[in-house]
Amino acid sequence: MNAKQKRWRNRIIVALVLFALSYLVAESGWLASQLGYPGALYAEFALFLVPYLVAGYDVLVKAARGIVRGNAMDESFLMTVATVGAFALVLFPDTEPHMAEGAAVMLFYQVGELFQSYAVGKSRKSIADMMDIAPEFANIMVDGELTQVDPYEVSPGDEIIVKPGERIPLDGVVVQGASQVDTAALTGESVPRQARENDEVISGCVNLTGALTVRVTKPFEDSTVSRILELVENASEKKARTENFITRFARYYTPVVVGIAVLLAVIPPVILGGGWADWIQRGLVFLVVSCPCALVISVPLSFFGGIGGASRVGILVKGSNYLEALAQVDTVVFDKTGTLTNGTFAVTAVRSAGALTREELLDLAAHAEAYSNHPIAASVRAALGCALDHARIEGVEEVSGHGVKALVDGQEVLVGNGKLMRAHGVAWEENDVAGTVLYVAKAGAYAGCVVIADELKEDAAAAIAALHEAGVRRTVMLTGDRADVARAVASDLRIDEFHAELLPQGKVEQVERLLEANARASAKGKLAFVGDGINDAPVLTRADVGIAMGAMGSDAAIEAADIVLMDDRPSQIARAIRVARKTMSIVRQNIVFALGLKFAVLILAAFGIANMWMAVFADVGVAVLAILNAMRAMSVKKL
Amino acid sequence: MRKAFKLQDLDCANCAAKMEADINSIDGVSKATVNFMTQKLMIDADVPDAASFGTIVDRAQQICSKYEPDCLILR
**Are A124 and B39 an interchain contact pair (Cβ–Cβ within 8 Å)?**
yes
State which CATH number among 2.70.150.10, 1.20.1330.10, 3.10.25.10, 1.10.1040.50 fits the domain covering A138-227: 2.70.150.10
Among B9, B14, B63, the residue to mutate for chain A (most A Cβ within 10 A): B14
Task: Considering only CA atoms, give the Rg of chain B.
Answer: 11
For residue A120, list chain B residues with Cβ-Cβ distance below 8 A.
13
Confidence of residue A385 (pLDDT cuts 50, 70, 90): confident
Whether B24 contacts chain A with CB within 8 A: no
Domain locations along chain A: 138-227, 343-455
- Distance between CA atoms of residues A548 and A529, nearest Å: 8
State the pLDDT at residue A552: 60
Minimal CA separation from A72 to chain B, in Å: 9
Strand ordering across the sheet containing A179-182: A193-195, A179-182, A206-207
For residue A553, pLDDT over 60 is answered with: no
Whether B40 contacts chain A with CB within 8 A: yes
Which chain A residue is nearest to residue B35, measuring alpha carbons?
A: A236
The predicted model gives A592-605 an average pLDDT of: 91
State the pLDDT at residue A590: 92
For residue A237, list chain B residues with Cβ-Cβ distance below 8 A.
31, 33, 35, 42
Whether B72 contacts chain A with CB within 8 A: no
Count helices and strands in chain B by DSSP H and E runs: 2, 4
Confidence of residue A294 (pLDDT cuts 50, 70, 90): confident
For residue A557, pLDDT over 70 is answered with: no
Considering only the beta carbons, identify the residue of A69, A75, A304 that sits closest to B66: A69
**Are A293 and B65 an interchain contact pair (Cβ–Cβ within 8 Å)?**
no
Short-list B41, B29, B37, CA closest to B4? B41
Which chain A residue is nearest to residue B39, measuring alpha carbons?
A: A124
For residue A94, pLDDT over 70 is answered with: no
Whether B15 contacts chain A with CB within 8 A: yes
State the pLDDT at residue A314: 84
**Are B15 and A123 an interchain contact pair (Cβ–Cβ within 8 Å)?**
no
Burial class of residue A245 in the structure, from the number of CB atoms within 10 Å of its CB (0-12 exposed, 13-18 middle, 19+ buried): middle
State the pLDDT at residue A547: 92
For residue B26, pLDDT over 60 is answered with: yes
Task: Tell me the pLDDT tens digit for each residue of A221-262.
Answer: 888 888 877 777 777 778 889 988 888 888 888 889 989 999
Q: What is the CATH number of the domain that holds B23?
A: 3.30.70.100
State the pLDDT at residue A573: 92
**Are B65 and A69 an interchain contact pair (Cβ–Cβ within 8 Å)?**
yes
Helix (H, G, I), strand (E, B) or coil at A29: coil
**Are B14 and A75 an interchain contact pair (Cβ–Cβ within 8 Å)?**
yes
More confidently predicted of A562 and A37: A562
What is the tally of structural domains in chain B? 1
Whether B28 contacts chain A with CB within 8 A: no
Whether B61 contacts chain A with CB within 8 A: no
Sequence letter at residue A334: F
State the pLDDT at residue A434: 67
Whether B42 contacts chain A with CB within 8 A: yes
Q: Which residues of A touch B (CB under 8 A)?
A: 62, 65, 69-71, 74-75, 117, 120, 123-124, 127, 233-234, 236-237, 247, 250-251, 291-293, 296-297, 300-301, 304
Structural contact between residues A170 and A160, judged by C-beta atoms closer than 8 angstroms: yes
**Are B17 and A247 an interchain contact pair (Cβ–Cβ within 8 Å)?**
yes
For residue A70, list chain B residues with Cβ-Cβ distance below 8 A.
66
Average model confidence (pLDDT) across chain A: 85
A638 backbone dihedrals φ, ψ, rounded to 5°: -85, -5
Short-list A344, A346, A367, A345, CA closest to A440? A367
Q: ipTM value of the model?
A: 0.79
Structural contact between residues A141 and A119, judged by C-beta atoms closer than 8 angstroms: no
Among B37, B39, B64, B70, the residue to mutate for chain A (most A Cβ within 10 A): B37
For residue A247, list chain B residues with Cβ-Cβ distance below 8 A.
17, 21
Confidence of residue A72 (pLDDT cuts 50, 70, 90): low
Which chain B residue is nearest to residue A117, measuring alpha carbons?
A: B11
**Are A237 and B69 an interchain contact pair (Cβ–Cβ within 8 Å)?**
no
State the pLDDT at residue A331: 93
Q: Residues of chain A with pLDDT > 90: what percent?
A: 20
Report the CATH superfamily, name and number, of domain A343-455.
Calcium-transporting ATPase, cytoplasmic domain N (3.40.1110.10)
Task: Tell me the pLDDT tens digit for each residue of A403-414.
Answer: 888 888 888 899
By DSSP bridging, strand A526-531 and strand A545-549 are parallel
**Are A237 and B31 an interchain contact pair (Cβ–Cβ within 8 Å)?**
yes
Write out the residue range of the structural domain in which residue B50 sits. Answer: 2-74
The predicted model gives A148-168 an average pLDDT of: 89
CB pairs below 8 Å between A and B: how many? 57
A336 backbone dihedrals φ, ψ, rounded to 5°: -80, -60
**Are A236 and B33 an interchain contact pair (Cβ–Cβ within 8 Å)?**
yes
- Distance between CA atoms of residues A226 and A138, nearest Å: 14
Burial class of residue A449 in the structure, from the number of CB atoms within 10 Å of its CB (0-12 exposed, 13-18 middle, 19+ buried): buried
Among B33, B38, B40, B71, the residue to mutate for chain A (most A Cβ within 10 A): B38
Minimal CA separation from A465 to chain B, in Å: 36
For residue A75, list chain B residues with Cβ-Cβ distance below 8 A.
12, 14
Minimal CA separation from B5 to chain A, in Å: 13
Q: Any catalytic annotation for residue A363?
A: no
Choice among A171, A182, A335, A363 that is catalytic: A335
- Distance between CA atoms of residues A124 and A133, nearest Å: 16
CA A283 to chain centre: 42
